[in-house]
Amino acid sequence: MSFDRTKVSEPGNASTPGFALGLGLTNECDLACSFCYRDPTRIDRLTLDEVRAVMNRLPVRSVNLGTGENGMHPDFLSIIDFLRAQPIKLTITSNGHSIAILDDEHVRAFHDVEFSLDYPTEVEQDAQRGAGNWTLIREQAERCRRLGVPVTIIAVMMKSNYLKLAEVAHVAKQMRAPLRVNVYQSVRTDAYALTYEEYWEGFRRLFAETLVIAIGEPLVRAMAGLPPPETECGCGVATVRVTPRGTTQPCVYWPGVGEPLSHLLHAGEDIRHTPSFVAARMLPQACEPCQFRETCRGGCAGRRVLHGALDEPDHYCPIVRGERPRLEIEMTPMRDLPKLGSACTTVVIARD
């Protein structure tokens, strides 16, 4: 992989408002979804002391608990108690289990709870996730609403559901929730990866039946005619991922084991200047003359590096193919979503 034909967009210095910190407390899960990114071959866990150390070394504005099913960590409650005492916005991504095991007081610690729902019917969801998962999510989403905790539904756009996400958005709206969509990344397998045509058709179908809250997927933002985001995508700039193995990454999809946590604890916010974070900000040379370069920045850096082509345009890029997809969107006012700037993601809500 060559980095010498690229340019780097350097972040600001003292004015950094704080990092969006992703913590994977454990890679354990009570489910075994075939498209999951986690490593199911081993059990790794962050300790409470490690979480404390990270929080002491970084200016943090938000923390999301992701990767595995965090409620399976033996010190889950102690870690929540520590984090909810910090001046941050705390969120969690769950299949429902981690919320179900919490009492109401601990559920109220979260600024937003994300439930993973990839299909619009109980049969499809349970076939992929496991029997009873559909009911569990609906029950826990209703519980969160009763407790005054906002809910977001998160789905992965992949080969098996890319034409069904508008329907998922309507299910989410029944739970008074927006839908957040991440494009599937080939971390462990490319079996669920979208083709170029599926990628663009998936977003066309989704936008036809929804209102857009925000678009962070770089190529989609550009083709929807939106201006560059006010702040750059968090990858390599304002997002740090700490894995259950005790390593750090600039992006949840970044390949490899990551840098040792000791590097983060030594560097603090200067972690942004380490090689993987610098690489995540690189603009491919071929993108230099493109009119969309400031909005797109070469597409998703995590996707490019997974394809072994960090210094080339995103393989979903239409411009290099001589094409220009037109995405018709209608925007709606934004809800406070702490994870929005930390990933290449898109948030919509179903039309009435």
Predicted confidence at residue 190, as pLDDT, reads 83
Predicted confidence at residue 186, as pLDDT, reads 78
Residue 10 has pLDDT above 60, yes or no: no
For 183, the token pair is 């494009």
Question: Tens digit of pLDDT for each residue in 241-263?
Answer: 999 999 999 988 888 888 999 99
Residue 231 pLDDT level (bands cut at 50, 70, 90): low
**What share of residues in the chain are helix, strand, coil (percent, to 5)?**
35, 20, 50
Predicted confidence at residue 41, as pLDDT, reads 78
What SS3 class is residue 165? helix
Q: What's domain 17-280+325-350's superfamily in CATH?
A: Aldolase class I (3.20.20.70)
Residue 1 has pLDDT above 60, yes or no: no
Angle at the Cα of 274 (from 273 to 279), degrees rounded to 5? 90
Question: Which positions ≥6 away from 252 have C-beta within 8 Å?
Answer: 22, 37, 66, 67, 241, 302, 343
The rounded radius of gyration (Å) of the Cα atoms in the chain is 19
Residue 5 pLDDT level (bands cut at 50, 70, 90): very low
Residue 101 has pLDDT above 90, yes or no: yes
Residue 61's CB is within 10 A of a number of other CB atoms, namely 18
Give the whole-angstrom CA distance, residue 90 versus residue 113.
9
Three-class secondary structure assignment of 87-125: CCEEEEEECCHHHHCCCHHHHCCCCEEEEECCCCCHHHH
Predicted confidence at residue 20, as pLDDT, reads 92
Give the whole-angstrom CA distance, residue 281 versus residue 193.
24
Question: Mean per-residue pLDDT for 340-347?
Answer: 81
Phi, psi of 26 (to 5 degrees): -155, 155
Residue 171's CB is within 10 A of a number of other CB atoms, namely 22
Question: Tens digit of pLDDT for each residue in 132-159?
Answer: 999 999 999 999 999 999 999 999 999 9
Predicted confidence at residue 233, as pLDDT, reads 59
Give the whole-angstrom CA distance, residue 345 versus residue 183.
8
Q: How far apart are the first and last CA of the chain?
A: 47
Question: Mean per-residue pLDDT for 267-285?
Answer: 93
**Higher pLDDT pick, 232 / 75:** 75
Closest CA to 25 of 56, 85, 71: 71
What SS3 class is residue 163? coil
Question: Which positions ≥6 away from 291 have C-beta within 8 Å?
Answer: none
- Among the residue ranges 5-9, 112-116, 279-283, 325-329, the one predicted with the least confidence is 5-9
Dihedral sign (CA 87, 343, 187, 138): positive
Using left for φ > 0, alpha for ψ between -120 and 50, and beta otherwise, residue 117 falls in beta
Q: Of all residues in the chain, what percent carry a pLDDT higher than 90?
A: 76
Instruction: Work out the burial of residue 326: count CB atoms within 10 Å of its CB; fewer than 13 is exposed, 13-18 middle, 19 or more buried.
Output: exposed
For 106, the token pair is 């601990």
Domain ranges of the chain: 17-280+325-350
Predicted confidence at residue 12, as pLDDT, reads 35
Q: What is the DSSP letter of 58?
A: S
Give the whole-angstrom CA distance, residue 36 versus residue 20.
22
Averaged pLDDT score across all residues of the chain: 90
Inter-residue contact 169 to 349 (CB < 8 Å):
yes
**pTM of this structure:** 0.92
Q: Of all residues in the chain, what percent carry a pLDDT higher than 70?
A: 93
CA dihedral 263, 183, 199, 323 (to 10 degrees): -40
Question: Which positions ≥6 away from 124 have C-beta within 8 Å?
Answer: 161
Closest CA to 100 of 74, 60, 63, 69: 69
Closest CA to 64 of 28, 30, 22, 14: 22
Residue 15 has pLDDT above 60, yes or no: no
Question: Mean per-residue pLDDT for 6-25?
Answer: 61
Residue 341 pLDDT level (bands cut at 50, 70, 90): low
Question: Mean per-residue pLDDT for 86-104?
Answer: 97
Predicted confidence at residue 3, as pLDDT, reads 25
Starting at the edge strand found earlier in the chain, the sheet holding 239-242 runs 210-215, 345-350, 179-183, 151-157, 112-116, 89-94, 60-65, 19-23, 239-242, 247-249, 259-260
Residue 352 has pLDDT above 90, yes or no: no
Dihedral sign (CA 326, 331, 335, 336): positive
